[in-house]
């Protein structure tokens, strides 16, 4: 019997982990280039989920298709936020930058509350109820699509970072900030682009999640802290590491829910977090920025 439970937990945890990975990937990129921990990450995801909701409810746009709209839109939004809020403070003390993003998070979450009130909204396309059984384990179709979508997005970004000029510039700035500037890279622009990509990642994640989740002003909180854990696990600035880290955290959380009583699954995630921070702060896969 336990074997069945563990298998189910592994499957559902893995699927959710893909989404965690995508959310964390954006956060990791932002950290790599801008060296800030973006507390407003979840809030941006929440805004994107509202956008997905409005596109679906008012215009009948399928949530997955709406990515074609929200992805670029939130890329632009991210760049804008970076230019207006973050860039002017780029020389501020680290802790101040953290608080800046915290203030931004408070602002955005409550802006949503003011504009759209606190009531929960649902995005429910026809296939939301679809599921099938694979070797005794339930697979919910929207979650499967979310995971697959996340992986595709992550791989696409990885290719982007590897093979395009902008991508290489981002990596250069992330790994060797002084050298990058000497090489004539437009550092300001790259910083804005990085933040924009981070926002786009989280917007895509939001659209992927909407069909099985719900939309409300505080919905980003479900992913915010987990994203930090995943980023540390994967190595801050290590984009693919974040994806792998996402799967690990998703699995750990789900297995924790199966094996531990009560709501202690959260403990597993934090314990993992603390252990990695202490013993492998560069992340499980290295390539991170150490302490």
| Least gap, CB of 254 to another protein (angstroms) | 5
Of 90 and 168, which CB lies nearer to another protein in the complex structure? 90
Cβ atoms 253, 204 nearer than 8 A: no
Nearer to another protein, 45 or 185 (CB): 45
Q: Which residue, 144 or 166, has its beta carbon nearer to another protein?
A: 144
Taking the least distance from each CB to another protein, the nearer of 166 and 277 is 277
| Least spacing, CB of residue 190 vs another protein, in Å | 21
Shortest reach from residue 159's CB to another protein, in Å? 28
Closest contact distance (angstroms) between CB of 167 and another protein is 25
Residue 8 or 61: which CB sits closer to another protein?
A: 8
CB of 163 to another protein, least distance (A): 30
């Amino acid at each position: 019997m336990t074997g069945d439970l563990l298998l189910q937990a592994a499957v559902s945890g893995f699927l959710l982990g893909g989404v965690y990975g995508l959310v964390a990937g954006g956060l990791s990129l932002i950290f790599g280039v801008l060296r800030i921990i973006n507390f407003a990450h979840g809030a941006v995801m929440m805004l994107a989920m509202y956008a997905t909701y409005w596109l679906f409810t008012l215009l009948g746009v399928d949530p997955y298709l709406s990515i074609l709209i929200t992805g670029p839109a939130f890329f632009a939004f991210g760049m804008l936020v970076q230019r207006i809020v973050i860039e002017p403070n780029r020389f501020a003390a680290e802790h101040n930058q953290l608080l800046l993003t915290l203030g931004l998070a408070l602002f955005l979450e409550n802006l949503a509350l003011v504009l759209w009130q606190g009531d929960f909204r649902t995005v429910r396309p026809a296939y939301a109820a679809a599921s099938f059984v694979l070797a005794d384990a339930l697979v919910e179709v929207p979650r499967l699509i979310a995971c697959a979508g996340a992986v595709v997005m992550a791989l696409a970004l990885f290719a982007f970072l590897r093979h395009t000029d902008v991508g290489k510039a981002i990596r250069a700035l992330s790994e060797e900030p002084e050298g990058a500037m000497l090489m004539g890279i437009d550092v300001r622009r790259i910083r804005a682009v990085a933040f924009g990509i981070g926002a786009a990642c989280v917007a895509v994640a939001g659209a992927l999640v909407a069909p099985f989740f719900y939309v409300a002003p505080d919905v980003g909180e479900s992913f915010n802290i987990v994203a930090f854990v995943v980023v540390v696990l994967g190595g801050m600035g290590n984009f693919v590491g974040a994806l792998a880290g996402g799967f690990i955290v998703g699995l750990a959380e789900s297995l924790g829910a199966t094996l531990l009583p009560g709501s202690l699954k959260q403990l597993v995630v934090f314990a993992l977090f603390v252990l990695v921070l202490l013993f492998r702060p560069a992340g499980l896969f290295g390539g991170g920025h150490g302490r």
